[in-house]
Amino acid sequence: MASAAIRPIKDSDEKLVRFMVAKANMESLAAANRQGAFLSFARKQPPNVLQPIITHCYLQPLPGFATIFVPLMFAIDWINRPYFENLTQDALRAPDMRGNIKEHYEKSPASGFFIVEYDEKFVGLIAIDASIENDVSTKHSPNFILVEYKCLSFANHVGVSNLFLLLQSSIAQSSIAILCQLLEDASSHALLFCLLHPSLLSLQGTDVQVYDLLDNVPGYNDNYEDPRRRIHSAVENAPAGPLDFVVDSVDTLASDIGSIAETYKFLSELLSLIRARSSPSRLIVHALSPSALLPLLCQPGFSPSLTHVISHPPALLRHLSTEYLILPPPLSPEAKFWGIFLPVSERVHESERLIFGAEGEGTGDGDELVIETVVDPTQNVSFNLNLTASQQNSRAQVPLPYVHEGRPLEKQPPTAAAIFYDPDSADDIDDDDPDEDLDI
């Protein structure tokens, strides 16, 4: 006798689950095509209207003429398909579908993934994802997230899986308010190295240990100590467990060290120490744009995983709404909004004019700001881009093809020249003179 059952997912079910997720999204394409086809009009007519047409065979001459509408049906599918294919790709690249599905849903006790079967045949699936990174519904654009951080917990948007978090401020808008809330909402302890903003000293508490380096300025303090030594010692002697290591700010650190290259080298060593910890930890740095360190810290060579948070003044959105008649999604199409917002936001002088100009509002405070989160594109792929230690060593041993380009060739010691020739059977060699029959 056939029976129904609901069982937890197994590793062997992953291929079937991904297929059904993709199929469920593509079913919407079929519904959209049916809705757009001209035949849907006939389905909506009452039976008393269609009965005379069917009874008296008035449609017999039409099939030949109806074939001219087949290209129209293909056109409808061609228009609808890209949108639903993008939805399918987004679903398959979600955090629960990228890796091991069973392991993802075992991270939280409130999560679960179940297979519904009838007579040992697949019928459907049930997924309950209660992980931290999926508990807030936020409108996502291809590369950015727009949130009101006072209303929603910002810590849930930046994610806890990335090893490196970069907060970028500007003269027009500071990210200190984001950093304060991030430390207040964090579930793990934090070590804060304060070199620039005195307001962060008030965060000292049971969950945040603050290292006051404000007075440690080279040339102004007789007892000056290299901040690298103190930060390195604090990270090495940090207690076990998840920790956030915060540096405010890297520009002040570079000014104290006196070298961008040495600062980059120190931050790279610091990130290696944090990566080597047994418990998942994170490095959070605050930078002020424009900065010579920003392009270096955004490179994959520094950290393969990165969350880059950029703060913009709210006046920028008001400027777009009045000058370009464009509002943030979902009030405007995402492609249209980001196509205008990104170029305008990258023009630093434009933002400064809106804030400090004749009709400007002045420096933005922490009560309201626009957050632009640049998500790591490598997090949305179905394969692993990170190299193991052995793979990195093997790559380092590969000689570069153009390493000697532009350098003069080294003079080689002269060697005696010689020509070696080994005749074979095909050679026409004999003792007779080949020109004896010529009359010269």
Q: Are residues 216 and 267 in the same domain?
A: yes
Closest CA to 262 of 220, 232, 217: 232
pLDDT score, position 150? 40
What's the pLDDT tens digit per position in 144-179? 444 443 434 455 555 555 788 899 988 888 888 888
333 falls within a domain: no
Q: Are residues 274 and 222 in the same domain?
A: yes
> Chain-wide mean pLDDT for the chain?
77
405 falls within a domain: no
Is pLDDT above 80 for 52?
Answer: no
pLDDT score, position 305? 80
Q: Which of 132, 164, 180 is the last residue of a domain?
A: 132
Q: Are residues 229 and 178 in the same domain?
A: yes
248: left (phi over 0), alpha (psi -120 to 50) or beta: beta
Q: Which of 347, 375, 390 is the last residue of a domain?
A: 390
Q: Is-contact 175 168, C-beta < 8 A?
A: yes
* Domains: count for the chain: 2
**Predicted TM-score (pTM) above 0.75:** no
pLDDT score, position 153? 47
Q: Are residues 72 and 201 in the same domain?
A: no
pLDDT score, position 262? 92
Q: Are residues 102 and 245 in the same domain?
A: no
pLDDT score, position 118? 87
Q: Are residues 124 and 166 in the same domain?
A: no
The confidence band for 286, taking pLDDT boundaries of 50, 70 and 90, is: very high
Q: Are residues 219 and 115 in the same domain?
A: no
Is pLDDT above 50 for 182?
Answer: yes
Mean pLDDT of 385-398: 78
Is pLDDT above 60 for 188?
Answer: yes
412 falls within a domain: no
263 falls within a domain: yes
Q: Are residues 14 and 119 in the same domain?
A: yes
Q: Which two tokens stand for residue 215?
A: 């007075």
Q: Are residues 119 and 160 in the same domain?
A: no
Among the residue ranges 227-231, 363-367, 399-403, the one predicted with the least confidence is 363-367
pLDDT score, position 319? 87
State the virtual CA torsion across 29, 35, 36, 41 in degrees, nearest 10.
160
Alpha-carbon distance of 250 to 286, in angstroms, equals: 6
Tally of CB atoms within 10 A around 136: 13
Q: Are residues 258 and 368 in the same domain?
A: yes
212 falls within a domain: yes
208 falls within a domain: yes
Q: Are residues 190 and 255 in the same domain?
A: yes
CATH number, domain of 215, equals 3.40.50.300
Domain that holds residue 97: 4-132
Q: Is-contact 144 42, C-beta < 8 A?
A: no
358 falls within a domain: no
The confidence band for 66, taking pLDDT boundaries of 50, 70 and 90, is: low
Q: Which has more pLDDT, 38 or 213?
A: 213
Among the residue ranges 84-88, 191-195, 209-213, 396-400, the one predicted with the least confidence is 396-400
Q: Are residues 73 and 169 in the same domain?
A: no
pLDDT score, position 137? 41
356 falls within a domain: no
